[in-house]
Amino acid sequence: MVGTTSSLPRIALVGVHGFGAHHLVNLDRLEAAGALKLVAVADPNPPEAGRLAQDVGVYPDLAKLLADGVNPDVVIIATPIQTHFALGLAALAAGADVYLEKPTAASMSQFDELRAAATAAGRSVQIGFQSLGSLALPALASMIDDGELGIIQGISARGMWVRDKAYYQRSRWAGKRTINGVDVVDGVTTNPLAHAVATALFIAGVRSADAIESVETDLFRAHDIEGDDTSAVRITPKEGPRVVSALTVCAPEESHPSVRVQGSKGHAVFYYTEDILEVTRSSGTSSESFARTDLLENLMAHRSDGTALLSSIENSGAFMRVLEAVRTADDPRPIAEEHLEWIGEGTAAHPVINDVGEWIDRVTASEATFSELGAPCNVAGQYLRNDNARQR
């Protein structure tokens, strides 16, 4: 998309650190291509001197940016989870389309209000589930529709990452369920490996909260945090096979997360961080790499010619139903030290749950939870330890 400077979409970025730094790099690319113009950023901790062009406004927050008459066409919000709702409403009220990092909001009621506000304002909201831009997904959908995998029997998401103590000390909201009574809901299911759940639901064709019959959660924590860092979630749609996820950030080493589609004639595994689709049939296994559509470019195309959004707020309702189940569940249960090994020293130390990979494999294969399978960390009287875990 190329245009004169005056006709280019005007972009404001709220949050320039963390994932906001990735947005800055992407904005550099798209601005160099003549697709848009970054006009302002907002962050209480501004970027380093010289990082931005001299004509880019720098503000401490979105309210001051809007009060100064910047009038952006699109506001990108890459801020802590608990701020998404208020910032999204403010951007919509200012007449902007919104690119909102995942998760959409910290509760289902916030999501419903934000979606209603977007409809009332006649504006579009793209949610930052970048994996949904993968061209592997339409290829997989065609394969499923054509019956190449046979009858779809189940869909499962698997994720094994490593997060150390420093990860949960990087900000005051990291690993929190609430801060001063305000919902945060930062856990493995809703933040670091949220793409696994959202992608699995997308593949299953489950987009809205109303399409889900039930969500069952089985939440644990090895870190000294409030949120879950190891969890199994079983989602039963009103139609179609179950969607099960088994996720941890307490693995011995990091591996590529994936979504598996099991059919009666074969199965497909989508490695969503790599855009690789691996398909196994009776004739053997094939693997193909795919390109990915950038979600900001997709939003720009939507604005210019009505191209469908790849990760719209309307289609994030199913994931929000999962987040709501996590939010309202009992506190994640702490895993006793005898079921852990701590690797590293100081803030670089990270917990490894004994045999966690085997248990994750069992959960995804059987569509059962850790508790139902009798994982050792859940045996009555063994996982509990004396601490001041918050009770809900």
Q: What's the predicted TM-score (pTM) here?
A: 0.94
Q: What is the pLDDT of residue 376?
A: 79
Q: Report the distance separating Cα 13 and Cα 24, nearest Å.
A: 8
Helices 108-121 and 84-93 pack at an angle, to 10 degrees, of: 10
The encoded tokens of residue 364 equal 């995804």
The encoded tokens of residue 322 equal 């999962």
Low-confidence ranges of the chain (pLDDT < 70): 1-6, 377-392
Q: What is the pLDDT of residue 381?
A: 34
Q: Is 286 helix (H, G, I), strand (E, B) or coil?
A: strand
Distance of CA 106 to the CA centre of its chain: 12
The encoded tokens of residue 34 equal 């003549």
The encoded tokens of residue 176 equal 């929190």
E-assigned strands of the chain?
A: 10-14, 37-42, 57-59, 74-77, 97-100, 125-127, 152-160, 178-179, 182-183, 212-221, 230-237, 243-248, 258-263, 266-271, 276-281, 284-289, 333-334, 340-343, 350-353
Determine contact, residues 38/27, Cβ cutoff 8 Å: yes
Q: Is 25 helix (H, G, I), strand (E, B) or coil?
A: helix
Nearest residue to 65 via CA among 25, 111, 10, 120: 10
Determine contact, residues 30/10, Cβ cutoff 8 Å: no
pLDDT of 262-286, one tens digit each?
A: 999 999 999 999 999 999 999 999 9
